[in-house]
Amino acid sequence: MNLKKLLDNVEYKIIRGNNDLDIREIQYDSREIEKGDVFVCIRGYVTDGHRYIGNACKNGASAVVLSEDVESMPQCTVIKVKDTRKALALMASNYYGNPSKKMKIIGVTGTNGKTTSTFMVKSILEAAGYKVGLIGTISNYIGDKKIPSHRTTPESLELQKLFGQMVKESVDYCVMETSSHSLYLDRTYGVKFCEAIFTNLTRDHLDFHKTFENYYRAKLILFQNAFNSIINVDDSYGERVYRDAPGHKVTYAIDRQADVRGSNLNVHSRGINFNVSYEGSTESVNLNIPGKYNAMNALGSAAACLCEGIDLGTVKKGLESMEAVPGRCEIVTKPYDLGYEVVVDFAHTPDGLENILKTAREFTAGKLICVFGCGGDRDNTKRPIMGKIGTELSDFAVITSDNPRTEEPMSIIDEILSGVKKNNYTVIENRREAIKEAMKMAGKGDVVVIAGKGHETYQILKGKTIHFDEREVVADIVRELTIGD
């Protein structure tokens, strides 16, 4: 593509050379550069792309897009912009034919519930006859085709490429998780959302955002680029989003009056029944995932689809046809007759842990046993909070390792223990052994909640990634306990 066309809608200044040249591809990693590429210098939190201009030119870059003055001017076309992240997003969109303008985009943001909500929206839209793409934490999808996901929201270059693939395959809607990181780092810059869903806001990612206000402001970016804002007004920050978001707003709630309202909740071990009311009509929904918070996710998803003109009967059909979302209140003991249940959940925040334990309590006839830890190299202020929640809301807790990354597992566990007030726990650093111990102590009517990793199929220890799928772990332990060690 011609560089001038590639820079359409980007404010820039030519420092050296000219913009009338053909570009092979866009790159922001100098190691990926081939002859004829344009290198966009992105300042990251570990390193700065401006440091690798020389390497990019050596590898054959025809042009460089930068935002800072450099000591040594490269011998190729040099374009200066105010913000290279925003420039990358617009250039990527131009390169792939502005694909987000050729389908409808629905974004979901919040601390918890993003993944489940995207799957719910996808199911409703498909029930209405649309072809749907999904971008998120577990995997990306183009219709039924599954594509590996490496982060919640891809960098803008990869995001626009994925949008382009969806357009080629005649996708009508793309529903995507929009993380606070991605919004702050302009990965979705230039994308217009037909619907933006706010699920909730609780403590998370303060290692990145530093303050809760910064975290909130990052989330708010989504609603500044949306036609409709779909807002959970049962959440205290939802009330603030309602005040701060521009444009048209639609509310949903269970405990308060709202445009889309949930009522008559009945939670059981394999799901939840509730009513959904909108504009004078009501449908009874039998969801295959338990928990009040999943009813709330369903309401937000329903509201977005109702705003897209889908009728309430089709919303009901879409929600009821959806099976459990991997690692989200997923009961992994359904194939076995153990007398007790094991639930795997991604809960890795204080609010997430509280939600899953309160939900599990509602269908626990006997003891509620919780296995949990905290990730390393992340916000350590939540560790004692989670220690308090994990022990106070369960009858017994097994505190263990999560993804310690570069930290010492026992150092993380010690910080978790600093918030524990009850003597109803044991510490087993090895996560597999911790799960086995919890299952050994479980009896008839008990529920074991394994929190923190959910859909993940790995564990990160001392910088190394090892295979660790809790569904497989539970299945292995069932065999061990059935036939003996």
Is 452 annotated in some ligand binding site? yes
Q: Binding site annotation covers 403?
A: yes
- Is 379 annotated as ligand-binding? no
Q: E strand or H helix at 229, and its extent?
A: strand 226-232
Q: 187 among the known binding-site residues? A: yes
Q: Are strands 26-27 and 38-40 parallel, antiparallel or unpaired?
A: parallel
Are 22 and 36 in contact by the 8 Å Cβ rule? The answer is yes
24 is in an annotated binding site: no
Task: Give which of 84, 86, 81 is closest to 225, Cα–Cα.
Answer: 86
Residue 93 in contact with residue 160, Cβ under 8 Å? yes
Run of H or E residues at 362: helix 350-362
113 has binding-site annotation: yes
Q: In whole angstroms, what is the distance from residue 428 CA to residue 56 CA?
A: 48
- DSSP string covering 144-191, please? TEEEE-SSSS--HHHHHHHHHHHHHTT-SEEEEE--HHHHHTTTTTTP
Q: In the block, which residue shows the tokens 């992340």? A: 378
Would you say 251 is a known binding-site residue?
Answer: no
270 among the known binding-site residues?
Answer: no
Q: Is 402 annotated as a binding residue?
A: yes
Q: Is 114 annotated as a binding residue?
A: yes
Look at phi and psi of residue 277 and say left if phi exceeds 0, alpha if psi is from -120 to 50, else beta: beta
Q: Is 151 annotated as a binding residue?
A: no
Q: Which of 225, 115, 95, 99 is nearest to 162 (CA)?
A: 99
Q: What CA–CA distance (Å, rounded) separates 367 from 443?
A: 8
In this structure, are residues 403 and 470 in contact, taking their beta carbons and an 8 Å threshold? no
* Residue that is written with structure tokens 């990730």 in the block: 375
Which of these, 136, 234, 240, 249, lies nearest to 197 by C-alpha position? Answer: 249
Could you tell me which of 37, 38, 5 has the C-alpha nearest to residue 20? 5
Task: Say if residue 112 carries a ligand binding annotation.
Answer: yes
Return the structure tokens found at 234: 């049962």
Q: What are phi and psi of 301, to 5 degrees?
A: -65, -45
456 is in an annotated binding site: yes
Closest to 127 in 3D by CA, of 317, 284, 309: 317
Distance CA 85, CA 100 (A): 18
Encoding tokens for residue 229? 């804002």
Is 261 part of any known ligand binding site?
Answer: no
Q: Which residues does the annotation place in the binding site for meso-2,6-diaminopimelate?
A: 378, 402-405, 452, 456
Residues that constitute the known binding site: 30, 110-116, 152-153, 179, 187, 378, 402-405, 452, 456
Binding-site sequence positions for ATP: 110-116
